[in-house]
Amino acid sequence: MLSMFLKRSVLMLGMLLGLLVITFLISHVTPGDPAALAAGPDATTEMIEQIRTERGFDKPVIQQFFLYAFGILQGDFGTSIHTTHEVFDDIVAFFPATFELVVFSILIAILLGIPLGVISAVTQNSWIDNVIRIVCSSGVGLPMFWLGLMLQLYFGLQLGWFPLGGRLDLMTDPPMTITGLYLIDALLTLNFPVFLEALHHIILPAVALCFPALASIIRVNRAEMLETLTQDYIVNARAQGISVLRIIGLYALKNSILPTLALIGLRFGWMLGGTVLVESVFDWPGIGLYTVQAATASDFEPVMAATLVLGAWFMFANFLIDLLYGWMDPRVLKKG
């Protein structure tokens, strides 16, 4: 397990370096003037030239890369034009909201997706299975922002069950910052009214965000489960007198969940892309909304920083899944 951990860690460091190279190439080398981009659309020629020398855009490319990489290692992502803050500070401020939303969504997707996939497989071709499959097909097909708008219109406006957007009501003070995740902070400070309010706010965006992931988790888990249930070791387990529930919930599930895990890792990463849309629809003050606002203001450096952060997160999510895989399937460890 330790050797696998080390191997995967080294691999991830290599990939992070690759990501750095790509964001560097986009921000420094692609056609266009990086100084002009960093200075923003309204900058004068003198301001652009000042930024060029300040940020080292006049130096050779290799040197520029090292400057860039070391800057990032020190937390220097440049300055945002539209918030006038250091990009690093902005990201620290906006990231917890996104993190909270994405983790909440993936938890919904996992906690609902795996049991529903199993139920769908076990009741194959019954009406239950058919209903689940129809919902799944629509989940894979519906665009997330459209689904978000519809949820907002119906459950927010028409029925009035949920707030239209934001993390809390405008007049509510957020809980004391411990983790930056309102749900957790509210619980830690035993502030239950705020906890319920935060929960109330997160449900619609989380549902919109998790739906495609939920649908694909159900589909993959159903297919894997069906396949696993025909395996010889399931027949043997039955012949040993082991109960049906235990066979489905343990013997089959532990085998069929492995491919689903890989999917969860991918989906967890993709959700970050999804947050750009969902956060815009639900006015959720996270990295996605921040990036969209930066992009529309031609504020270049926050966009690059967000790309880097989201890319790193994607890798980290898959790194975790890899480790989980090794823990679940003894055959993986053997291969390293």
Partner 1 sequence: MEKPLLEIRDYRLNFNTFDGVYHALDGVNLSVVAGQSLGIVGETGCGKSVTVRNVLGLLPSPPADVISGEILYRGKDLLRVDQKEMQRIRGSEIAMIFQDPMTYLNPVFSIGTQMVDAIMAQQKSLPREQRKNKREARQHAIAMLEKVHLPNPEKQIDRYPHELSGGMRQRVLIAMALSGAPKLLIADEPTTALDVTIQAQILDLIAELVEDMGLSVILITHDLGVVAKICDRVAVMYAGQVVEYGSVDDVFTRPRHPYTEGLLRSIPHPGRPPESLSGIPGFLPNLLSPPKGCRFFERCPKALEKCRETPPRISRPEKGAEALCHLYSEERGDA
Q: What does the binding site for partner 1 look like in residue numbers (CB under 8 A)?
A: 231-233, 235-244, 246, 251, 254-255, 258, 328-331, 334
- Minimum distance from residue 235 beta carbon to partner 1 (Å): 6
CB atoms within 10 A of CB 252: 25
**CA dist., res. 260 & res. 61, Å (int):** 43
> Quick one: 193 or 330, whose CB is closer to partner 1?
330
> Quick one: 76 or 329, whose CB is closer to partner 1?
329
- Minimum distance from residue 201 beta carbon to partner 1 (Å): 40
- Minimum distance from residue 177 beta carbon to partner 1 (Å): 42
**CA dist., res. 110 & res. 154, Å (int):** 25
> Quick one: 60 or 330, whose CB is closer to partner 1?
330
- Minimum distance from residue 233 beta carbon to partner 1 (Å): 4
Phi, psi of 283 (to 5 degrees): 50, 45
Selection from 86, 82, 77 nearest residue 41 by Cα = 82
> Quick one: 9 or 243, whose CB is closer to partner 1?
243
- Minimum distance from residue 305 beta carbon to partner 1 (Å): 41
- Minimum distance from residue 121 beta carbon to partner 1 (Å): 14
**CA dist., res. 1 & res. 322, Å (int):** 11
